[in-house]
């Protein structure tokens, strides 16, 4: 058993992380902080936790030392307190965007401001086990992942890893997302009457998660186009790219299966019959799976590679717990066994 605390537990990512930590067989949750909900029972904000815990939100200034400190604050906060947090715990997992990029100039380019503690960037490992498993096993500081970046990175991973991409062609990634991605705060466009029934392409290019794709996949000419659809949880990335001239469907099967075999939470979904023939976030709610699929137009090398995830799980809190398991040396899947629901 280890002790953990969570800084910033009232948002959707924090709530999901708390659920996972409470259910984890080897973890004891000491404190969960929230300034805006100070003193409230956590189940009053996260109603699924009723009868599961009597924890109340505490003040971040009263944090006590633990084995692992999780940070789930809005972007831009963790970097201002990281020195302080580091005195409280030998290991830190930060779900925010503060420590995802390794290069300070690259950070400034995408986030439009100088990083507060650039010297800390190199101390963090990017928190996606499918990309950084070995480094994570010995890491002290682990960053979170962008949910859209994760769906994009995993859609590209088999192609990059097997070196099948024609890198002279641009990569267009069309990403469709549910409303939980907008966070618990939201805005006027998040109201149900305005947000229900939408197909709303809210970002054509320039989404900040693009930086994580460039960094982790080593691709250059890549764009993420974001479309909001009527769903609460889930992301589907549909990546359009070009494969090298001699790549055939059988090569792709080999590359995708290899990634699935090496990673307990990756599955290949490519069926000829039935209702569920392709990756779909619908059946992934609450799971840590990343489902991959592809179609190749052999006439011109156009590949459509798909990755479906639950944005709050594999795209945030699930990956964070998976990282923790690796950092401590537990079975990688511990506490992440939920299979998902059908139908839902």
**Which residues are catalytic, by number?**
147
C-beta of 1 vs 196, nearer to a copy of itself? 196
Burial of 310 (0-12, 13-18, 19+ CB in 10 A): buried
* 325 interacts with a copy of itself by CB under 8 A: no
184, 249, 254, 262: which one binds a copy of itself (CB under 8 A) = 184
Q: DSSP class of residue 100?
A: S
* 233 interacts with a copy of itself by CB under 8 A: yes
C-beta of 87 vs 168, nearer to a copy of itself? 168
5, 19, 314, 332: which one binds a copy of itself (CB under 8 A) = 19
C-beta of 98 vs 332, nearer to a copy of itself? 332
**Long-range Cβ contacts of 120-126 (<8 Å, 24+ apart):** 120/79, 120/82, 124/94, 124/99, 124/100, 126/100, 126/102, 126/212, 126/215, 126/216
Q: What angle do CA 160, 239, 182 make, to 5 degrees?
A: 115
CB of 66 to a copy of itself, least distance (A): 22
Distance CA 229, CA 211 (A): 23
Q: Where are the beta strands (DSSP E) in 76-129?
A: 91-94, 124-125
- Return the residues of window 267-296 that contact a copy of itself according to CB under 8 A: 267, 269, 271, 273-283, 285-287, 289, 291, 295
C-beta of 1 vs 275, nearer to a copy of itself? 275
CB of 174 to a copy of itself, least distance (A): 4
Residue with tokens 């002279």: 168
* 22 interacts with a copy of itself by CB under 8 A: yes
C-beta of 144 vs 286, nearer to a copy of itself? 286
How many residues contact a copy of itself, by CB under 8 A?
90
Q: Is 243 helix (H, G, I), strand (E, B) or coil?
A: strand
Closest CA to 101 of 213, 13, 196, 204: 213
CB of 104 to a copy of itself, least distance (A): 22
* 201 interacts with a copy of itself by CB under 8 A: yes
Number of other CB atoms surrounding residue 246 within 10 Å: 8
* 150 interacts with a copy of itself by CB under 8 A: no
- Return the residues of window 249-268 that contact a copy of itself according to CB under 8 A: 267
- The pairing of strands 68-71 and 57-58 is unpaired
* 188 interacts with a copy of itself by CB under 8 A: yes
């Amino acid at each position: 058993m280890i002790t953990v605390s969570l800084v910033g537990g009232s948002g959707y990512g924090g709530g999901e992380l708390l659920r996972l930590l409470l259910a984890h067989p080897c973890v004891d949750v000491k404190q969960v902080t929230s300034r805006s909900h100070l003193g409230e029972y956590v189940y009053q904000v996260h109603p699924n936790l009723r009868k599961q815990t009597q924890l109340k939100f505490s003040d971040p200034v009263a944090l006590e030392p633990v084995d692992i400190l999780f940070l789930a604050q809005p972007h831009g906060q963790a970097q201002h307190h990281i020195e302080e947090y580091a005195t409280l715990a030998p290991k830190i997992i930060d779900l925010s965007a503060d420590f995802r990029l390794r290069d300070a100039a690259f950070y400034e380019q995408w986030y439009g401001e100088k990083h507060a503690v650039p010297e800390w960037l190199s101390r963090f490992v990017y928190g996606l086990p499918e990309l950084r498993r070995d480094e994570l096993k010995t890491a002290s500081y682990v960053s979170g992942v962008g949910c859209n970046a994760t769906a994009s990175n995993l859609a590209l991973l088999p192609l990059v890893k097997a070196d099948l991409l024609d890198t002279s062609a641009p990569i267009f990634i069309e990403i469709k997302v549910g409303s939980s991605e907008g966070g618990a705060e939201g805005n006027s466009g998040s109201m149900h009457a305005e947000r229900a029934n939408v197909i709303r392409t809210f970002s054509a290019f320039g989404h900040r998660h693009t930086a994580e794709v460039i960094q982790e996949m080593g691709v250059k000419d890549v764009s993420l186009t974001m479309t909001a659809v009527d769903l609460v949880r889930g992301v589907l990335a549909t990546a359009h790219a070009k494969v090298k001239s001699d790549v055939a469907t059988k090569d792709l099967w080999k590359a995708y299966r290899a990634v699935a075999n090496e990673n307990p939470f990756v599955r290949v979904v490519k069926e000829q019959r039935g209702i569920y023939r392709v990756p779909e976030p619908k059946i992934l709610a609450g799971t840590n799976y990343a489902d991959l699929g592809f179609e190749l137009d052999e006439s011109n090398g156009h590949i459509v590679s798909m990755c479906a995830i639950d944005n709050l799980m594999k795209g945030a809190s699930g990956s964070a717990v998976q990282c923790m398991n690796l950092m401590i040396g537990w079975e990688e899947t511990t506490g992440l066994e939920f299979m998902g629901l059908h139908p839902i």
